[in-house]
Chain A
Amino acid sequence: MPLAREHELHRRRSGRNIGVGLLLVAFILLVFGLTIAKVERGGTIEAFDHTYRPGLAVRHEELQQGEER
């Protein structure tokens, strides 16, 4: 005996469910592709990593140089 009983409703809605499923898969692929495209293009990726972010570090050095002068 199968674990899930096949209801008539499942057959009737199969076209709709397959359509939604394919759309979701396409959406996932698109978001994955976008992620790869944005990472590939590079630029500085900054996040908190228990140290100064590169942008902040440069600014800090500039301030220090200014004070020394």
Chain B
Amino acid sequence: MSDIRANASDVAAGAAEPGFGDFVALLKPRVMSLVVFTALVGMLAAPVALHPIEALAAILFIALGAGASGALNMWWDADIDAVMRRTATRPIPAGRIAPGEALGLGMALSGIAVVMLGLATNWAAAGLLAFTIFFYAVIYTMWLKRWTPQNIVIGGAAGAFPPVIGWMAATGGLAIEPLLMFLVIFMWTPPHFWALALFVKNDYDRAEVPMLTVTHGRRATRAHILVYSAALAPVAVGAAFTGIGGPLYLALAVVLNLLLLRGAWRIWRRDETAAAADGWRVEKRFFRFTLSYLFLHFGAILAEAALRPLAVWPVALWS
């Protein structure tokens, strides 16, 4: 009764009432969709098949863990979200959800996701999910994001864990294949986001978040894109010669990585005057390409997994 009275007085004072959608927004559903896709690929590429219900539960709880870490991220970053235009309308800075509610939701969902993944599959996968939430919420969000311009690189590691968790959920162990999938996302993240940083005027500096374009300059950012792309290409192509690869993946990876290197080389060769003159056309094209790059690589891994039972490729040629 007192709860109703207290809430009724809040409304009288004009307090905003959070809707169900605000709590969903707190879980960063767009990030969750990428997590679902990469975790699903990791799970389906594994040599052990889960029961469909177990697989569904595993994907849901991995996504829930990602959502929980998103809520914890929004709770901690509410102060900087409030001063950046892109994030000012998020539920906490907009005043629709109290910070304590976001913290409570993030912690509760983290616990549910980890325990349920452990019960649905195995405790190794659940442990890695717990570590991923800790890594994203504590190591990245609380510690390194506001401290080093390499924050994108570190944040990329958190985003690279889902296919490994998916693989572990199916097999209960690790292998070279999930590590390669991890490395592809890990090394893909910096060139992808730094290309965006070159043509989007964001206000990270106003929020005092060190970004490479601000701390080391745009010339250094272009060099970083080239170096990370050069490191990514052999890993992405090399995965073709492991259990998750095959002729289809190899053909696609060779083409995509040649295009990646060509784009990164073009970005490196340009100066700001040339980029400004054509409205950062090369940088924008590279950014859009990197989106397809990741999707196609993981799509090809999925296609190889689907083709494997059909024995399309001779075993002696590709095992």
Q: How far is the CB of A51 from chain B (nearest CB, A)?
A: 28
A37: contacting residue among B8, B17, B18, B54, CB under 8 A = B54
Query: Which B residues are in CB contact (< 8 Å) with A54?
Result: none
Q: With A and B bound together, what is the CA distance between A15 and B20 in angstroms?
A: 7
Question: Is the interface on chain B under 10, 10 to 19, 20 to 34, or 35 or more residues?
Answer: 10 to 19
Across chains A and B, the number of contacting residue pairs, with CB separation under 8 Å, is 41
User: Are B60 and A30 neighbours in the complex by a CB distance under 8 Å?
Assistant: yes
B14 within 8 A of A: no
A36 within 8 A of B: yes
Given known pairs A9-B7, A34-B120, the reply for A19 and B20 (CB within 8 Å) is yes
Given known pairs A9-B4, A34-B119, the reply for A20 and B20 (CB within 8 Å) is yes
User: Are B20 and A33 neighbours in the complex by a CB distance under 8 Å?
Assistant: no
Q: With A and B bound together, what is the CA distance between A13 and B3 in angstroms?
A: 13
Q: How far is the CB of B60 from chain A (nearest CB, A)?
A: 7
CB contacts under 8 Å to B, within A32-50, are 33-34, 36-38, 40-41
B17: contacting residue among A7, A12, A20, CB under 8 A = A12
User: Are A34 and B20 neighbours in the complex by a CB distance under 8 Å?
Assistant: no
Main secondary structure of the interface of A (DSSP, over half): helix
A53 within 8 A of B: no
* CB-nearest residue of chain B to A16: B20
Q: With A and B bound together, what is the CA distance between A7 and B11 in angstroms?
A: 13
Query: Which B residues are in CB contact (< 8 Å) with A13?
Result: 17
Query: Which B residues are in CB contact (< 8 Å) with A19?
Result: 20
Q: With A and B bound together, what is the CA distance between A40 and B57 in angstroms?
A: 16
Q: With A and B bound together, what is the CA distance between A8 and B8 in angstroms?
A: 9
User: Are A34 and B53 neighbours in the complex by a CB distance under 8 Å?
Assistant: yes
Q: How far is the CB of B123 from chain A (nearest CB, A)?
A: 15
A-B contact pairs, 27 of them (CB 8 A): A7-B8, A8-B8, A8-B11, A9-B4, A9-B7, A9-B8, A12-B11, A15-B20, A16-B18, A16-B19, A16-B23, A19-B20, A30-B53, A30-B56, A33-B56, A33-B57, A34-B53, A34-B54, A34-B57, A36-B53, A37-B51, A37-B52, A37-B53, A38-B51, A38-B54, A40-B51, A41-B51
Question: Which B positions have Cβ atoms within 8 angstroms of A?
Answer: 4, 7-8, 11, 17-20, 23, 51-54, 56-57, 60, 119-120
